[in-house]
Amino acid sequence: MTEFGYTLSSEEFAGSELVELAREAESRGYDFLSASDHFHPWLAEQGESPFVWNTLGGVAAATEDIDLGVGVTCPTVRIHPVNVAQAAATTKEMLDGREFYFGVGSGEALNEHVTGEHWPEHDVRMDMLEEAVDVMKSLWTGEQVSHHGEHYTVENARLYTLPDELPSLVVSAFGEESARRAGDIGDGFWSVGPQDVVEEFDGDGPKMTQLTMCVADSEDEAVKTAHENWRQSALPGELNQILPTPKHFDQASQMVTEETVREGSTLTSTDPQEHIDSIQQCLDAGYDHVYFHQIGDDQEAFFEFYEEEVLPSFR
């Protein structure tokens, strides 16, 4: 069964605004929400970066039936996995039986370097993620845990607040190898766009992906807004993982033009069929949870357009 979700963009809205947007998405019939976890926004123009676990608690209290996710958090450098395990368990308990998609990934320097710890290469980050997941799963048993591993030390830790059912651990991956490793450590798979690497994931859990768009009165207006507020998504290679500050992202993204945005993966068309086709590509690739990130302040334009012109094709 396909489920459709809505992105709570922590880079663009304060926590109180995200709670209100969550209520709106629930009233519009979305199946789930995903809140991004950032210490910094990508670009200074985006302007916000609330602590995601406060936001998730507020959303849990302000909504009734909609499922919730964090997409995705990095439990390896900025925050010790002991603390992330406690945060995820508390969030799941507050949802009172609703699903909590606990997305985890290897992170970006933008958010993780702020404590002054070394930012390692990708393979080391994946090893750290696997060890962090082991630590969190041990704590979710409710037993007292001590762990002396290659990357983490835990001494006499026990979680006392635990949900009746554990959150779904959904692992972010973009390449074939990381998709296979995601199947080894997680319940589900998390990506961006209609990437076919989901075929490498061997698991029965949710397969989740995000589509990014800017819905506006005209395509030119949408391109302008997307370029001003989300141009970093068009940066090539691993730049999004290694650049350390919004200033660096601003400098690097000077190479991204409005035409680059128009021709890229961000949906800026006013033609509903292009949006329908992009969603269908995700479904054909094997994803069963597709959620939508609307760039910019005008979230109402997205809600109206998708409710009236796009999602009826899938209901």
Give the residue numbers annotated as catalytic, written as ranges: 38, 108
Q: Is the peptide bond before 72 cis (omega within 30 degrees of 0)?
A: yes
Contacts 24+ apart (CB under 8 A), 11-14: 11/36, 11/38, 11/41, 11/42, 11/46, 11/47, 11/48, 11/49, 12/41, 12/46, 12/47, 12/48, 12/229, 12/295, 12/296, 12/297, 13/48, 13/50, 14/48, 14/50
Contact predicate 78/112, CB 8 Å: yes
What does the alpha-carbon distance between residue 194 and residue 191 come to, in Å, rounded to a whole number? Answer: 8
Contact predicate 222/46, CB 8 Å: no
Q: Find the Cα–Cα–Cα–Cα dihedral 301, 270, 213, 176, rounded to 10°.
A: 150
Helices (runs of H) and strands (runs of E) counted in the chain: 12, 10
The CA–CA distances, whole Å, from 46 to 101, 172, 185, 263 equal 25, 23, 33, 22
Angle formed by the axes of helices 52-62 and 15-27, to 10°?
40
Contact predicate 306/5, CB 8 Å: no
What does the alpha-carbon distance between residue 259 and residue 231 come to, in Å, rounded to a whole number? Answer: 11
